Copies of this chain bind each other. A is one copy, B any other.
Amino acid sequence: MSLKIPAIVVNFKTYPESSGKEALALAKICEQVAHETGSVIMVAPPLSDLALVASSVDIPVYAQHVDDVRSGNTTGHVTMENIRASGASGTLLNHSERRIKVAEIHDLIGNARALHMATIVCTNNPGVSVACAAMGPDAVAVEPPELIGGDISVTTANPGIVSDTVRAIRAVRPDVAVLCGAGVKGRADVQKAIELGSSGVLLASGVVKAKDKRAVLMDLASGLR
């Protein structure tokens, strides 16, 4: 399944506010906003809630991580085949909270392509972004780790990291989309992300910790238009 862009990717992380029943509830809100606004909103629930969420909503559901092992004698892992069987459309890889090896990224991208699953590789700077783009994922999502979970959007605090990543990747792999993230909170951040040449944003606490999740999602979605 190919990646739809421009997009807002909501990473539920493992927050209590977005686990179990709350994961399902938040995914339903995301689905509703996506349908009302016509925007692409993708959700990445906790791994243990993946199948439950994917079987309940009609928007793209992504895994937060996949292990570089195959289905079989691999107890306690999450395989690409598993997440496909669970109904996911693709996966994040190499999130700053779950970095993986370079040969694993390469292998997982190939494995995902063979199974028609999309891959979004998270990176921390333009240098790593170009390295990961060279391996041909659907997208690279650049996020300065020091801004993740913070109050200031990467598009305000460090717009150069986004534009540098876009420029560097376009020069070598124009087929790879660029997303950006860290500190994204609302409409202005999304608009700026698009202006800087990216194809959307990846965010977590800005939605998950919000009192009125629906209102935040409506605001974010308005930035894509």
Q: Which residues of A contact B (CB under 8 A)?
A: 11, 13-16, 19-23, 44, 46-52, 55, 63-65, 69, 71-79, 81-88, 92, 94-106, 123-125, 127-128, 130-132, 134-136, 148-149, 172, 204
Contacts and interface: CB of A to CB of B under 8 A. Distances in A.
A85 B11 contact: no
- In order of increasing CB-CB distance, the 6 nearest A-B pairs are A20-B85, A65-B76, A76-B98, A51-B52, A19-B85, A48-B50
A132 B135 contact: no
B99 A103 contact: yes
Given A49-B51, A76-B95, A14 B82 contact: yes
Contact of A51 (B20, B92, B132): B20
Contact of A73 (B84, B94, B100, B149): B149
Given A74-B97, A101-B99, A85 B21 contact: yes
A19 B52 contact: no
A11 to B, nearest CB: 6
Contacts of A22: 85
